[in-house]
Structure 1
Amino acid sequence: MTEANERDRRWTLALGVDAAEDGGSALSDSDRRMSEALTALYGDGDDAPKKGRGGLGGSAPRVAKWLGDIREFFPAPIVQVIQKDAFERKGLRQMLLEPEFLATVEADVNLVADLVSLRGVMPEKTKETARIVIAKVVAELMERLERKTADAIRGSLDRSRRTNRPRFSDIDWPRTIQANLRHYQAEHRTVVPERLIGFMRRQRRIVDLDEVILCVDQSGSMATSVVYASIFAAVMASLPVVATKLVCFDTAIVDLTETLADPVEVLFGVQLGGGTDINRAVAYCEERIERPTKATFVLISDMYEGGNADALVDRLARLTLTGVNVIVLLALTDTGRPSYDPALSARVAALGIPVFACTPDQFPDLMATALRREDVHGWAADRDIKLIRSDG
C-alpha cells in the first residue's frame, strides 16, 4: 500500500466515511467492520449516528457483537476507553445503574449476553443488579429446558419394569386408568387416580458414565450460544449419568467446570469478545478426555479460526479416530441460523463430523442421540436441519 493510500485509509476510518461512496477505493472487509464498529458509537463526530449507520440502540446490532469487534481491532487500553465512551454517549451506564429500569426491561437471553459482555466495566453495585437480572433469566430458561434435558439424557424407558412413583412423562396411562376405574367420577366424567403406574428408567453404573465436553467459542458473535451452552452444561452437570465439562475460549481458555453448580457464576466467568484460537481450545479439551470411547465432544463455534486451521482439522480427525463422538454446532440460538466460515466448516464435515446449527429446544434430543451413539446426521436430517456438506 502506498503512503497516499494509507493516508486516505486513515482519514476514511477517522471520518467514518466509506471511500467507495466518494469515488475512492473501498475499504477492506476488516477496515469496513472497524469503521462500522466506531460509527455505531461515534457517528459523524457528534452524539447522533449517521443516517443509515448502526447505533447501539434497540434497532442496532447486538451490543455483545459490537464489543467483540472492538476487542478484535483495538488493544485493551483503547477498548476500555471506547467502552467508557459507550456508557456515557449511549446511555448504557444509566441503564445498568438503574435497577428500576432493568426491572421493567423484557429480560431475555440477549440482554444476559449484553450484561455479561459489559460486566468488565461495571462498578460492583451494578454487578449485583446485573446478577439479579441474569439470575431471573437463567431461572426461567432452566425451568424451560431442565426437565426436557434431564428426561432425554437420563435414559430410555425400561418397559420391563414398573414403578408406582413415576415421573409424569413416564406414566403408563392405560394401566393407571384400568387400576383406578373404581374411582370414576360420573358427574365429572373422569377418573381420579389414587395409584400411578409407570415405567422405570434404565440407570447406568457410575463406572459407565459418559463424558460430555462442551467447548464454546466466546467471541462476541457467539454471545447467545454461550449463554445457552452454559445453562445446558449446568443442567447436565446435575445429572448422575454424565460427567460434564465446560470450556470457553477466545484466544485464551477458561475452564468453568468447577462452577457448573451455579449457572449465574458460570456466566460471570465468561469473557465475551476478542479473537479466536479454536485449535488451542480443542487441544486443551483433548488432554482432558479420560475415556475416548465414552466421550462426546461438542464444539460450539462459528469456525472463524484465528489460529492454525490445518492443525485444528488434524486434531479433530485424531479425536474421531480415538473413538470420541465429535459434533460441531455452528450456533445454539433460538433461530438456529448461523453465520459461519463455510470453507473450514466443509473441511471438518469432510471428516465425517456432523456440522450444523440447532435451537435450544432441539439440543436435549441431540445430546440423547449422541450419548446413545446413534446417527447424528440422520437425526438432523429427520428434523430438516441443514447439515454442512463436505463440498461446501
Structure 2
Amino acid sequence: MTHPGVPPSADATAPVPATDASGERLRRWRLVLGEPSGYGPLHGRDARVDSALAALYDGGPDGSDRAPDGSAPRGATLGDSSPRVARWLGEVRDLFPARIVRVLQDDALDRLGVRRMLLDPGLAEEVRPDVHLAAAVLALADSLPEEARAPARTLVRRVTDDLEERLAHRMRSELRGALDRSARTRRPRSAADVDWHATIRRNLRHYVPERGVLVPASVVGRARSGPGVRGQVVLAVDQSGSMAASLVYAGVFASVLASLHSLRTRLVAFGSDVADLTDRLSDPVDTLFGASIGGGTDVGRALAYCERLITSPAETVLVLISDLHEGGSPDEMLRRLAALRSAGVRVVVLPALSDDGTPAYDPQNASALAALGIPAFACSPDDFPDLMAAAIEGRPLSEWAQERGNGR
C-alpha cells in the first residue's frame, strides 16, 4: 500500500546517512510503498515511521479496514477506536515535521469520518459523545476546517457537561469538608473560633450522666487563615497521546477546583513544552482546546515550571498525571519531585486518571518514586474527589490507595 502523504524524498524520518546511494533509495521506496513492496524490513525509527503511516493508509489509526470503494474505514466512528487515534497522533507528532503532520492529520479527518460527523448536523446528533471521542476530536482540533470548529466545541461541551453533572457536586462537597477539617486547631483564640458541634462529637465519651454535664478533654477550633485561601492545588498533566482521556478528566476537575475560592488552583499541561492553562479554567471547553494533545514528554521541564508557582509548600498539593515515560532526563524528573516533597509539598503521581483499567506506565520510574516515598497509582474519576480530600487533609496517600486496591 502506497503511503500518499510522504514522498520518497521526505525528511520525515530524519534518516541516518546510508552507506551507499542505492541502499538509501531502497529504504525510501520501502517507506513509500509499505510492507508489501518486497524491499525488506525496516528497523529503529524507520520502523516507527512505517507503522504510523500504515496505521493511517493501510486501515486508519483505529486499525479498521478500508471500505472496498476506498472511502472511510468500515465502522470508523471514533468510539472505542479513539484511544488508539490519540496515541497514533502523539507518535506522528514525535516522528514528523509540522508540515507533514498537517497532511497526515487532514487525511485522518476524512478517513475516520470526523469531518463528516462534525459537518452533518443529523449525524452529530446521533453520536453518543464520550471522553475518548472528545479526546480524539481535541487531538485533531488544529486541522479542523473553520466550519467544523463550532460543532467540535459543541461535541466536547456535551462531554464536559456530562462529566460535571456526574462529578462536580461530589468534588465540591468533599473538598469543602476537607478544607474545613484541615483548618481546625486545638487552640482556638476565642469562643467565636470554637467549632462547638465538632467539640461535642469528639467529647461525647466524657459525658457525666448523673450531673448532666459534658466535660471536654479537648476543644476543636477553626484556625484563622488568610483572605479566604486555605491551600493550593497544582495539576500537572501529560498531554501525550496515551494520556488524552486523563487530560479530558483533569481539565474538567481543574475547572471545578478553580470554582472553590478557598483553593488556589493551577493547571499545567505539558509535552515537550509547557502550557499554563490556569487563565482558561472558568470554562472546561476553553481549557481543553488550549491543550495540544500529542508529541513528546518532558516531565522535568514541567516540574521546573510548577516549582515557580508554589508560594507555600506546606499548603500545596501537586498532582502529576503522567505515564512517566520521560522523554527528557529521568534523573532530573526524580530530583525535582524529591525536592518538592522535601520542601513540604504533598506530591502524588497518577499514571492515569481514567476508567480504562490498568494503565501502561514506566515501571522503573514508578519504582524510583516509591523509593522516594512518593505515592504513584492509577485513580478513577469517581475516586479522584476523595483522593484530593485525603491529600488536602494530609492523610497518608499510600494507605488510601491500598484501601481501594489502587496501590502500585
What pairs with 1:11-26 in structure 2 (closer than 5 Å)? 11-17=29-35
Give the Cα–Cα distance (whole angstroms) in 2 for the partners of residues 93 and 218 of structure 1.
Answer: 23
Give per-residue Cα distances to partners, 1:205-246, cap 9 Å, x unaligned.
445511100000111111000000010000111112211100
Give the Cα–Cα distance (whole angstroms) in 2 for the partners of residues 144 and 357 of structure 1.
Answer: 20
In 2, are the aligned partners of 1:204 and 1:241 still within 8 Å (CA)?
A: no
In 2, are the aligned partners of 1:154 and 1:203 still within 8 Å (CA)?
A: no
Residue in 1 aligned with 2:139? 117
In 1, are the aligned partners of 2:26 and 2:39 still within 8 Å (CA)?
A: no
The alignment covers a number of residue pairs equal to: 343
Residue in 2 aligned with 1:57? 76
Could you say what secondary structure the match of 1:358 adopts? coil
Structural RMSD (CA):
3.0
Residue in 1 aligned with 2:157? 135
Following superposition, the deviation at residue 34 of structure 1 comes to 2.7
Runs of at least 5 residues in structure 2 that lack an aligned partner in the other structure:
1-15, 68-72, 182-194, 199-220
In 1, are the aligned partners of 2:321 and 2:350 still within 8 Å (CA)?
A: yes
After TM superposition, the structure 1 stretch with the greater mean CA deviation from structure 2, 234-243 or 33-42, is 33-42
Aligned AA (1:71) = R
Residue number among 48, 51, 67 corresponding to 1:36 in the alignment? 51
Give per-residue Cα distances to partners, 1:302-329, cap 9 Å, x unaligned.
1111112111111111111100111110
Give the Cα–Cα distance (whole angstroms) in 2 for the partners of residues 79 and 56 of structure 1.
Answer: 24
Residue in 2 aligned with 1:334? 355
What pairs with 1:1-392 in structure 2 (closer than 5 Å)? 3=19, 9-17=27-35, 27-28=43-44, 30-43=45-58, 57-58=76-77, 60=81, 62-155=84-177, 160-161=196-197, 205-207=225-227, 209-387=230-408
In 2, are the aligned partners of 1:247 and 1:256 still within 8 Å (CA)?
A: yes
Could you say what secondary structure the match of 2:356 adopts? coil
Aligned AA (1:17) = E
Runs of at least 5 residues in structure 1 that lack an aligned partner in the other structure:
163-200, 388-392
Could you say what secondary structure the match of 2:378 adopts? strand
With over 3 angstroms needed to count, the CA separation of the structure-2 counterparts of 1:315 and 1:99, relative to structure 1, is: same
Identity of aligned residues (%): 45
Give per-residue Cα distances to partners, 1:27-80, cap 9 Å, x unaligned.
33x5444322211211189x9559xxx999246453222211111110100001
With over 3 angstroms needed to count, the CA separation of the structure-2 counterparts of 1:369 and 1:3, relative to structure 1, is: same
Aligned AA (2:88) = W
Following superposition, the deviation at residue 204 of structure 1 comes to 7.4
Aligned AA (1:145) = L
Aligned AA (2:406) = I
Aligned AA (2:341) = T
Could you say what secondary structure the match of 1:331 adopts? coil
With over 3 angstroms needed to count, the CA separation of the structure-2 counterparts of 1:216 and 1:13, relative to structure 1, is: same
Aligned AA (1:27) = H
